[in-house]
A and B are shown apart, each in its own frame.
Chain A
Amino acid sequence: MSQETLLPESLQLRLMDMEYSTVTVEEVQQIYFEETGKEPPFDIAVYHSEDYVDEEKANGFNGTIVHIENGQGVNEAYTIARGTQDFTDDDWHATDWSYNIMGIFVGQNKTQYDAAESFDDEVTKEISEKTSTEPKKIALGHSLGGNLVTLMQLTFGRFDEVYTVNAAPPSFYQLANIDKDFREEIEKKYNINLENSNELYNFNSDELQEFAEEYYESRGEDIQHLTSEQDIMTALFNIRGFFQVGDPPTTVDAFPDEDEDVESLAALFDEIPDEFVKDVQMYFAKNFKDTYNEEGFQGLFKELTGIDSRLIDKFFNQGEELGFFKTGKHVLDALNEAEEKIPELTRLLEGLAESVPAVLDTLVKHEYLTKAESKVVHEEYMNILSHVQDIEKMLEEGINLTQGDGGLQIMNILKHFQEILNSVDTIDENTEKLQEHLGFGVTAHELSTIIKKLLADTDISYEKNDGTLDMIMSKNVDGKNIKINISSALRIYTEGLSILESKETVLSEIESKYERAYVQDYENRERRVMKKVREMEESPYSYQDLMGNFTRDTKVFHKVTKIDVHEDIPNLPENLENIYEGTFTYIKGVIEKEKVLLTNIKDSIEELFEEDERISKEIFGEKEG
């Protein structure tokens, strides 16, 4: 990690973490406090990709640019590309996981890349216009985000520094689609014509890898990687098509406390035969693009077979006879689709069948499967294959609905599908250890794991709260371990202060309204009455008409010569004044008490951690006032 950027590594990591939800200026200020104990000595501006790129067109891309400047030389823009969302929770079918498969694995999907590029261009232009100079540009990315910023750097070198964490490495299949110079260099060097991008998959991948590494070496110079040893993504993409750029990664052990060393899956994936990977890539490349682009993961899954597994469940859950009537049309549509998809899938499974034993042997060798489990998995694989072959044959023969047994045919086909789902379940049950290790790999992949390992020390730890990490400080007092959520305390303090401020504002508004509506209004009325009184007393004759009309034959004429008013204006009722003034004083007292409470919280936390360097008095102190 370069020391030349203004935000230290800890902050860069936490920015990436924060980017998974929405980054605001206040939050950036807060983590700056937390990590440095100081108020940021610069202005912060935040730009969100959704304000710049149409959501549909972004196709799952999300990003944020944080710009800091102080008008005296500090001018840095941090482009953060969001990574893959948590895939441990239920909705791991997020659009960008299918992007991982589609975009990265087979080297396609230019849409997210294009969205990222156009977002960065537009915001950089805005910042440069605002500050009259180009900012220093730093890119940050975790997981898929790391892949995106790496590609952006390799094609155009737009950043001064790139920092990735557990990133999916770039692949030359991706780059051949994005970077036309690179594509044409390949065509020339190997005298191949990439008229059809499929040719690239048939080409010797070792040679391409070597060439790509050499071609992008200098553009990759400013890219730095941080990975956890057990990261699944690093392990998974250590295969055909992917190559390393930049400095060798700095690594962190994600599970230092486990009894046994948790090993990376990389050694396993390394031994998976190239042919196996190639077949899978080719299959994905050929079959999935349109649907993936339109429907994300769900489309991808359905695209495998043409059938939605939920439909099969529904069909059989209704009872077999009823099932067809309730789901009939959907089933027919699905079978029509299956007729197109199944042959391709059958070819893939047939093709892989040859290397499946080798893959299973590798799993046994690395002790992820027992011999017995491996046998079961192999049997189930062959079962799936034979069901798929049967389905293919049955679909080929066609379903004749005009004949009596059309419904029966359909049911038989669906039974085969159901058998496939059962086999998938059995495979699931027999791969527990493998799945546990995949789980380790997944945990190691998460940014929070890295942050916990890197930034935590004896007194400081981090915990997930509402999607982002909070800083927790602990201290032993009289033999008891006291833990304080500093992020939360800071939020209480700053948000508390700002709530009290708005309370004060509202109160003073009410006070001035009371002044206007009662006190001033009373004075205005009194003044108006007295003015009238003065006018009457000064020019009594003006009020002559009050005496009525006098005609020519009037005997007695009354003339107004003097008016003397004896006014009696009652004071504003005292209890009214008391009620209002009393209420105001009371509320002011409450606000003051709340301020004292906040200050007490702050003081006691400060006192508790007085000797701690990271959370010095300044963390709250400078925010006061």
Chain B
Amino acid sequence: MQKDIADMDPKDLPDVPAFQDDFTREFMASTDEISDGYYLFESKTGGYTLPFPEDAQIDQNYYEKVKEVSEWTRYNADRETITGEPYTVYLIYENSQKKVDPEIKLKHFRTSVKYDGEFDKNDHDDLTHYFTQNKYVLSDKESSVYRFFGLIHSNDTNQTIRYEYHIPCEDEQKGCDYDLDAIEKEVEKVLTSVEFKE
């Protein structure tokens, strides 16, 4: 794995925002595309990797990290795979010293996303994935935001990621004909490709 991407001349790097933005580049683990339009993102905590869209940029002003125990990342990308709309992703990574009960994490997550419903639960090898979606209608009732969110928990270690995908719908009156299930599958595909590292 190349480690010196941050020091490389941007001209020698892929001509996509993920590499051309100074801050985002610091998270890129390799210049090799891992799938169409995705590169490998590596957390600065060293705690996980994730496929990262080439057209996305990490918001430096939102970003926060505490040693190797937590990291808050937010990025915007221009084209969501299914809808082609711009979207925002939030990732909160945590690595606990204490044994983590994912159900308690989920309860905390519910309040922070103001969601009271159920989550679907899937097991993927050593990962447990809780996920759901809802829609936030803005107070002027003219537009809305579709939100796909969930929690990935590593059953072998005490690592978790809380994530949210926000895809806006500009015209709430007319409605946006998004294929929500397809988006959800796409999000799940990305999130279950997370690799936790100790």
Q: Which residues of A contact B (CB under 8 A)?
A: 54, 56-57, 59, 108-111, 114, 117-118, 121-122, 125, 155-156, 158, 177, 180-181, 184-185, 188-189, 195-198, 215, 285-286, 289-290, 293-294
Instruction: Tell me whether B129 is interfacial, beta carbon within 8 Å.
Output: no
Q: Other than the known A122-B107, A180-B113, A197-B60, what 12 A-B pairs have Cβ atoms closer than 8 Å?
A: A54-B69, A56-B69, A57-B66, A111-B64, A111-B66, A121-B107, A177-B62, A184-B145, A184-B166, A196-B59, A285-B61, A293-B66
Instruction: Tell me whether B8 is interfacial, beta carbon within 8 Å.
Output: no
Chain B nearest CB from A85 CB (Å) reads 19
Interface flags, B44-87, vs A, CB<8A=1, else 0: 00000000000001011111111101101000100000000000
Instruction: Tell me whether B178 is interfacial, beta carbon within 8 Å.
Output: no
Instruction: Tell me whether B98 is interfacial, beta carbon within 8 Å.
Output: yes
Interface flags, B129-151, vs A, CB<8A=1, else 0: 00000001011101101000000
Which residues in A have their C-beta under 8 angstroms from that of B57? 195-196
Q: How far is the CA of A198 from the CA of B57 in the complex (A)?
A: 14
Q: Which residues of B contact A (CB under 8 A)?
A: 57, 59-67, 69-70, 72, 76, 90, 92, 94, 96-98, 104, 107-108, 111-114, 136, 138-140, 142-143, 145, 164, 166, 168
Q: How far is the CA of A108 from the CA of B74 in the complex (A)?
A: 13
Q: How far is the CA of A169 from the CA of B138 in the complex (A)?
A: 26
| Cβ contact of B64, chosen from A110, A125, A180, A181, cutoff 8 A | A110
Which residues in B have their C-beta under 8 angstroms from that of A177? 62
Which residues in B have their C-beta under 8 angstroms from that of A289? 63-64
Given known contacts A54-B96, A57-B94, A117-B112, A184 and B64 CB-to-CB distance under 8 angstroms? no
Which residues in B have their C-beta under 8 angstroms from that of A57? 66, 69-70, 94, 96
Given known contacts A111-B70, A195-B59, A293 and B65 CB-to-CB distance under 8 angstroms? yes
Chain B nearest CB from A152 CB (Å) reads 9
Q: How far is the CA of A547 from the CA of B177 in the complex (A)?
A: 115
| Cβ contact of A188, chosen from B67, B97, B140, B164, cutoff 8 A | B140
Given known contacts A56-B69, A125-B104, A197 and B62 CB-to-CB distance under 8 angstroms? yes
Q: How far is the CA of A286 from the CA of B143 in the complex (A)?
A: 32
Chain A nearest CB from B91 CB (Å) reads 12
A118 touches B108 (CB 8 A): yes
Contacts A/B (CB < 8 Å), 23 sampled: A54-B69, A54-B97, A57-B66, A57-B70, A111-B72, A114-B70, A117-B111, A118-B108, A155-B112, A156-B111, A156-B114, A180-B113, A184-B136, A184-B138, A188-B138, A188-B142, A196-B61, A197-B62, A215-B139, A286-B61, A289-B63, A290-B65, A293-B64
Chain A nearest CB from B74 CB (Å) reads 8
Chain B nearest CB from A185 CB (Å) reads 6
Given known contacts A54-B97, A156-B111, A185 and B61 CB-to-CB distance under 8 angstroms? no
| Cβ contact of A122, chosen from B59, B108, B142, cutoff 8 A | B108
A185 touches B66 (CB 8 A): no
| Cβ contact of A158, chosen from B62, B67, B111, cutoff 8 A | B111
Question: Chain B residue with minimal CB distance to A198?
Answer: B61
Closest 10 CB pairs of A and B: A197-B61, A195-B76, A118-B108, A121-B108, A56-B69, A57-B69, A188-B138, A293-B66, A197-B62, A59-B66
Which residues in B have their C-beta under 8 angstroms from that of A108? 61-62, 64
Which residues in B have their C-beta under 8 angstroms from that of A156? 111-112, 114
B64 touches A109 (CB 8 A): yes
Q: How far is the CA of A471 from the CA of B168 in the complex (A)?
A: 58
Chain B nearest CB from A55 CB (Å) reads 9
| Cβ contact of B66, chosen from A56, A188, A197, cutoff 8 A | A56
Chain A nearest CB from B160 CB (Å) reads 12
Chain B nearest CB from A592 CB (Å) reads 49
Given known contacts A57-B94, A117-B112, A122-B108, A180 and B166 CB-to-CB distance under 8 angstroms? yes
Q: How far is the CA of A109 from the CA of B96 in the complex (A)?
A: 19
Chain B nearest CB from A624 CB (Å) reads 43
Which residues in A have their C-beta under 8 angstroms from that of B136? 181, 184
Question: Chain A residue with minimal CB distance to B104?
Answer: A122
Question: Chain A residue with minimal CB distance to B68?
Answer: A56
B66 touches A121 (CB 8 A): no
Interface centre among B67, B90, B113 (most CB of A within 10 A): B67
Which residues in B have their C-beta under 8 angstroms from that of A286? 60-61
Which residues in B have their C-beta under 8 angstroms from that of A185? 138-139
Which residues in B have their C-beta under 8 angstroms from that of A293? 64-67
Question: Chain A residue with minimal CB distance to B58?
Answer: A196
Which residues in B have their C-beta under 8 angstroms from that of A155? 112, 114
Which residues in A have their C-beta under 8 angstroms from that of B63? 289
Question: Chain B residue with minimal CB distance to A292?
Answer: B64
Question: Chain B residue with minimal CB distance to A111?
Answer: B66
Which residues in B have their C-beta under 8 angstroms from that of A114? 70, 92, 112
A110 touches B72 (CB 8 A): yes
B111 touches A197 (CB 8 A): no
Q: How far is the CA of A198 from the CA of B74 in the complex (A)?
A: 13
Which residues in A have their C-beta under 8 angstroms from that of B168? 184
Q: How far is the CA of A289 from the CA of B23 in the complex (A)?
A: 13
Q: How far is the CA of A375 from the CA of B66 in the complex (A)?
A: 43
Which residues in A have their C-beta under 8 angstroms from that of B59? 195-197
Which residues in B have their C-beta under 8 angstroms from that of A188? 138, 140, 142-143
Which residues in B have their C-beta under 8 angstroms from that of A110? 64, 72
Chain B nearest CB from A278 CB (Å) reads 14
Interface centre among B66, B108, B143 (most CB of A within 10 A): B66
B61 touches A181 (CB 8 A): no
Q: How far is the CA of A215 from the CA of B112 in the complex (A)?
A: 18
Which residues in B have their C-beta under 8 angstroms from that of A111? 64, 66, 70, 72
Q: How far is the CA of A328 from the CA of B143 in the complex (A)?
A: 61
Question: Chain B residue with minimal CB distance to A184?
Answer: B145
| Cβ contact of B60, chosen from A59, A181, A189, A196, cutoff 8 A | A196
Which residues in B have their C-beta under 8 angstroms from that of A158? 111
Given known contacts A108-B64, A181-B136, A117 and B108 CB-to-CB distance under 8 angstroms? yes
